Homo-oligomer: A and B are copies of this chain.
Amino acid sequence: MGLIVQKFGGSSLATIDLVKRAARRVVETKRQGHRVITVVSARGHMTDELLDLAGQVSGAPPRRELDMLVATGEQQSVALMAMAIHALGEPAISFAAGQIGIFTDSQFTRARILNIDPRRILQELEQDRVVIVAGFQGVDEQDNITTLGRGGSDTTAVALAGVLGADLCEIYTDVDGVYTADPRVVPEARKLPSISYDEMLELASLGAAVMHSRSLEFAKKYRVPVLVRSSFQDGPGTLIVEETQEMENVVVRGAALTTDEAKLTLHQVPDRPGVAATICEHLDRHSINMDMIVQNTGEDGLTDFSFTVAKSDLPESLAAVEEAAREVGAKRISSDPNIAKVSVVGVGMRIHTGVGAKMFRALASADVNIQMISTSEIKISCVVDAADGKRALAVVHQAFRLETVGAPNDTATATGWTG
């Protein structure tokens, strides 16, 4: 008999029939002899609808009140889920975050969990009840309701699993697992049976919308095994776990394409200490996140400094870069919104050599020109022309034989990746 946390996202609860379906999953798991904690999100698009209401009331609503408002979405879900489980003959009890002591800081709309009091949950589990917890929310030390920001319900689920030492945290969602690449772009992409926290974190930052980074960091910290599964069909899903030595036998576990970035370059910047810092400080002052940053060894005391930003930040970034260019004495600025970034991720890179060469050779063989290269311990990213993006992803996927890494797909509707 184990302790299992099961989390159901908004799309998995969008209709009453889906609520009942989720309840059947929970009841099945309980009847297999497990103790079950269920974490639920707001149903369907309720959070967005509530935010829209708030927007009609005020152009700048206080963030405390936004949290008070949107937290009702999850509270409705827990109550309905408790009723549905009860109707199937199993005892269940619902809780808002404040009732079971999910304590956060007071950063409304993006609070962080500080502490969870497990006592009430353990009491209820001992009474043989399914415990249903509102995801996405907490309370601060003054008992104000807070919310955890994007991916918050996953964070709640993983944090509960961690604090209570659960054997497994199941994330039921509208995708059936994590793929070697976005199957909408690469038809050969395969579903991965398992993946390490670090690999998943890299893929999440590259657009795999399966889980939000913060919840993955929690999972990694508390070593919670996370199983991502579809709520609409059966199937094994993908297990996100601690890295094993065996995992390193696979050099690359996944590949990704991102197309929402733009590139900026300061040309012929004096090659002296403090230049990079000055440029970044100007971007910081405009609250712009830089992603890839590349600077090469210079010639004649001059160098080029390039980086990428979110496409939507490009106009603001240009203003910041013009200030920076004046200050550091750059000769020229250029920018290009028509880029794509192709990346490969795998813990195997730590011990295998030649990964970069294989990737660059694959791109060259497809006549794809590489504009920028950036590497980390388990990731290599190349910026290419936007028009080459999909072709680049396909050849890289092929070069690393990723269609042999995953299991044969059990569905054709996978959408675990955002474009």
Verify if A56 is at the interface (C-beta below 8 Å from B): yes
Verify if A66 is at the interface (C-beta below 8 Å from B): yes
When the two chains form their complex, are residues A20 and B79 in contact, meaning their CB atoms are under 8 A apart?
A: no
Size of A's binding interface in residues, CB under 8 A:
38
Query: CB-CB < 8 A to A72: which residues of B?
Result: 72, 75-76, 79
Verify if A223 is at the interface (C-beta below 8 Å from B): no
Nearest-Cβ distance from residue A274 to partner chain B, whole angstroms? 44
Residues in A83-137 with C-beta less than 8 Å from chain B: 83-84, 86-87, 93-94, 96, 98-99
When the two chains form their complex, are residues B16 and A56 in contact, meaning their CB atoms are under 8 A apart?
A: yes
Query: CB-CB < 8 A to A76: which residues of B?
Result: 50, 53, 69, 72
**14 pairs from A and B in contact (CB 8 Å cutoff):** A20-B57, A50-B76, A54-B79, A57-B87, A59-B87, A65-B80, A66-B79, A68-B96, A69-B76, A69-B80, A69-B83, A72-B75, A72-B76, A99-B144
Q: Say which residue of B68, B78, B143 sits within 8 Å of A82 (CB atoms).
A: B68
When the two chains form their complex, are residues A62 and B86 in contact, meaning their CB atoms are under 8 A apart?
A: yes
Verify if A255 is at the interface (C-beta below 8 Å from B): no
Complex: A254 Cα to B348 Cα, angstroms: 87
Query: CB-CB < 8 A to A187: which residues of B?
Result: none
Complex: A236 Cα to B54 Cα, angstroms: 32
Known contacts A65-B94, A99-B144; 10 additional CB pairs below 8 A are A19-B57, A50-B76, A53-B80, A58-B84, A61-B83, A62-B83, A65-B82, A68-B94, A71-B75, A98-B98
Nearest-Cβ distance from residue A74 to partner chain B, whole angstroms? 9
Verify if A390 is at the interface (C-beta below 8 Å from B): no
When the two chains form their complex, are residues A57 and B84 in contact, meaning their CB atoms are under 8 A apart?
A: yes
Verify if A64 is at the interface (C-beta below 8 Å from B): yes
Residues in A30-88 with C-beta less than 8 Å from chain B: 50, 53-54, 56-62, 64-66, 68-69, 71-72, 75-76, 78-80, 82-84, 86-87
Number of copies: 2
Question: Given A56-B16, A57-B19, A99-B144: A65 and B86 within 8 A (CB)?
Answer: yes
Query: CB-CB < 8 A to A143: which residues of B?
Result: 98-99
Query: CB-CB < 8 A to A65: which residues of B?
Result: 79-80, 82-83, 86, 94
Nearest-Cβ distance from residue A212 to partner chain B, whole angstroms? 24
When the two chains form their complex, are residues B58 and A87 in contact, meaning their CB atoms are under 8 A apart?
A: yes
Instruction: Report which residue of A57, A59, A86, A143 has the largest number of chain B beta carbons within 10 angstroms of its beta carbon.
Output: A57
When the two chains form their complex, are residues B53 and A16 in contact, meaning their CB atoms are under 8 A apart?
A: yes
Complex: A50 Cα to B16 Cα, angstroms: 12
Complex: A86 Cα to B61 Cα, angstroms: 7
Instruction: Report which residue of A69, A93, A99 has the largest number of chain B beta carbons within 10 angstroms of its beta carbon.
Output: A69
Query: CB-CB < 8 A to A78: which residues of B?
Result: 68
Query: CB-CB < 8 A to A53: which residues of B?
Result: 16, 76, 80
Complex: A111 Cα to B159 Cα, angstroms: 34
A223-261 vs B, Cβ < 8 Å mask (1 yes, 0 no): 000000000000000000000000000000000000000
Which partner residue on chain B sits nearest A134 by CB separation?
A: B68
A161-195 vs B, Cβ < 8 Å mask (1 yes, 0 no): 00000000000000000000000000000000000
When the two chains form their complex, are residues A93 and B80 in contact, meaning their CB atoms are under 8 A apart?
A: no
Query: CB-CB < 8 A to A58: which residues of B?
Result: 83-84, 86-87
Which partner residue on chain B sits nearest A43 by CB separation?
A: B53
Complex: A64 Cα to B86 Cα, angstroms: 12
Complex: A145 Cα to B71 Cα, angstroms: 15
